Amino acid sequence: MGYKILAINPGSTSTKISLYEDEKEIFTEKLEHPLDVIEKFENVEDQLHMRKELVMEVLKEKKFDIKELSAVVARGGMLPPVNPGAYMINELMVDRVENRPVMEHASNLAAPIAFEIARQVGVPSYIYDSVMSDELPDIAHISGMPDLPRTSSSHVLNTRAMAIKASEERGKKYEDMNIIVAHLGGGISINIHEKGRIVDLVSDDEGPFSPERAGRVPCRELINLCYSGKYDKKTMQRKLRGNGGLRAYLNTIDVRDVEKMIAEGNEYAKLIFDAMAYQIAKGIGELATVTEGNVDVIILTGGIAHSKMLTDKVTKRVSFIAPVEILAGENEMEALALGALRVLRGQEQAREYTAEVDSRK
């Protein structure tokens, strides 16, 4: 019998779950959480019970007995800096993402859900390629303000998996390639992989705006807005993450809606769409300087990389740097499951989340 692995990946308005037997996908389900439901919860952490119950309901509907599981693997949440790869989920990690996360984010719900399900049946649970995986050299952590160092926050799970895939497609080792990967989803982040290590990035709050995030905004005006008395902290946070980007400009987070607006002659929608593509290209160009222009391939991935209109606009601006490959889709469920499978097979060792890791800044 093969290893049966449940993968859990919460997003801002959905929770994806997949069941794998070894490398074979048995099923994948995307559990939608309508905005009117999500907005009833004061904090992301308050959604834990609701999301876990939905996961259990789907498994019951699929007539899958969780006693058959070999492991549960989850998207890594907003932890202190950790290494890429696998970590065993323990109570210290769960406490951190539930009560002391580095940042409020839906990914913080993954480890607690996985830990509870795995504990019910006595199997191991892991996170894999955490959002906060950090391999940045010291120079990349400098921001310009000593009390605000840059952190390594990007879509590590999908971008690393796609970089490895692109390397293998070319008959090369990931460790021998320089690759820029732009993850284009509800949030947009871009990172550069130099010889098998993510050495710099443009995070989703310092680069392009996305369907629901504001991205890089003018700092001085942001400070003025925060102290204007018009908004409280929570509202400002939502203006940056959740109610920013396309939602703020066009009242939608669906790129297909924007493309329809453009087709119907909406010039304002075209301007905003063009600006998003322009900013993505700028982020890619910015990271090309890290390896002094030595880039083997640029990958555009994530859900909205399905938009040919968007990828064509980005490609036109950056193809002078390196060939552009479109690997649309998130591909994160496969990356999670295969990561856990490597651990179960002894091909990779899971690290322990310790007090020393928990105390990192």
Summarised one tens digit per residue, pLDDT across range 23-71 is 999 999 999 888 788 878 878 888 899 999 999 999 999 999 999 999 9
Partners of 30 in beta bridges: 16
Give CA–CA dist 336/181, Å, rounded. 18
Partners of 182 in beta bridges: 190, 300
Q: pTM for the whole thing?
A: 0.81
pLDDT at 106 over 90: no
What was the pLDDT predicted at 346? 95
Residue type, 222: L
What was the pLDDT predicted at 12? 77
Which range among 43-52, 133-142, 211-220, 247-256 shows the weakest confidence by mean pLDDT? 43-52
344, with CB counted inside 10 A (0-12, 13-18, 19+), is: buried
In the chain, the domains with their CATH numbers are 4-133+333-358 (3.30.420.40), 138-330 (3.30.420.40)
Residue type, 328: A
Residue 187's SS3 state is coil
The pLDDT mean for the chain works out to 94
Residue 173 CB contacts under 8 Å (≥ 6 apart), including other chains:
167, 196
Render 227-286 in DSSP notation, one character per residue. TSSS--HHHHHHHHBTSSHHHHHHS---HHHHHHHHHTT-HHHHHHHHHHHHHHHHHHHH
For the chain, percent of residues with pLDDT exceeding 70: 100
Render 6-46 in DSSP notation, one character per residue. EEEEE-SSEEEEEEEETTEEEEEEEEE--HHHHTTSSSGGG
On whether the CB atoms of residues 206 and 215 are closer than 8 A, the answer is: yes
What was the pLDDT predicted at 216? 96
pLDDT band at 154; cut points 50, 70, 90: confident
